[in-house]
Amino acid sequence: MSERIIKAFKNAAIEKKNRQDYFNIAVSVDCVIFGYDNHELYVLLMQSDLEEFQGLNSLLGDLVRPSEDLTEASFRILWERTGLQNVYLEQVHTFGKVCRHPSGRVITTAYFSLIDMQHQQLNIAEHQLDWYPVRKVKRLAFDHLEILQLCLQQLQQKVMERPVVFHLLPPLFSLRELQSVFEAILGIELDRRNFRKKIAIKDWIIDTNTLEKEVNHRPGKLYKLKAGLVNNFRPYQ
């Protein structure tokens, strides 16, 4: 099998290499799991158990098994570490520097994921996971800080173009909450009236004719995401 792969690539002016050489790269995926709560964007991190990175946090990642697709591996990691299924995942970039992992050659494909951290029950304690405000994350193991930053940047770029933020919110949400999510992601304040106009134009949400409850001010209308706008299991664009 693997001899076939090497043969299949023999065509160019490459040197002959033996099996050992070509199958010496491990493949992993790392998931940047974003959550939102109370005007703040969070990322789910675990404690690195690598001695080189003692005391540092890292993203949730794992080696990809030969029998699973890259996306399957990401869904598996989310499932194994958090118990979540049916989450939104989007591939961002593959990091392939020779020395990015201290134990050997590992390339990793980064995905970001958006989840409703208030209403999904995570097995957080069980796996030593914790939510950290993205703003405050200054150091991570490996090149994970770089990965986090690129995923955030990607999220920022897409957030106004496509209806993705709704994965961070419960099924029913107020416009105030929605605006707050945008502000947390973009790191800027938005004008309420202009924001509402923009959202109205996008035609992403539906007025449910219900109101917020248990809130000590005038309750806002609750909206829901329009059906059919999101493909959860779309591995790319």
- Judged by the rule CB under 8 A, the positions of this chain that interact with its own copies are 1-2, 4-14, 17, 21-28, 46, 49-50, 61-71, 73, 77, 80-81, 91, 93-98, 101, 103-107, 109, 127, 150, 153-154, 236-237
Please choose which of its own copies, DNA, none residue 139 contacts, taking the beta carbon within 5 to 8 angstroms, the exact cut-off set by kind: none
Closest distance between its own copies and the C-beta of residue 186, in Å? 17
What is the distance between the alpha carbons of residues 71 and 68, in angstroms, rounded to a whole number? Answer: 8
**Of 37-45, 122-130, 134-142, 219-227: span binding DNA (CB under 7 A):** 219-227
Residue 3 token pair: 């001899």
Residue 152 token pair: 């955030």
Q: Across the chain, how many H-helices and E-strands are there?
A: 6, 10
Among 176, 183, 186, 224, binds DNA (CB under 7 A): 176
**Of 17-25, 75-83, 129-137, 196-204: span binding DNA (CB under 7 A):** 196-204
What is the distance between the alpha carbons of residues 71 and 69, in angstroms, rounded to a whole number? Answer: 5
Q: Indicate the residue type of 183.
A: E
**Of 45-53, 92-100, 116-124, 192-200: span binding DNA (CB under 7 A):** 192-200
Residue 34 token pair: 């974003």
Beta bridge mates, 93: 110
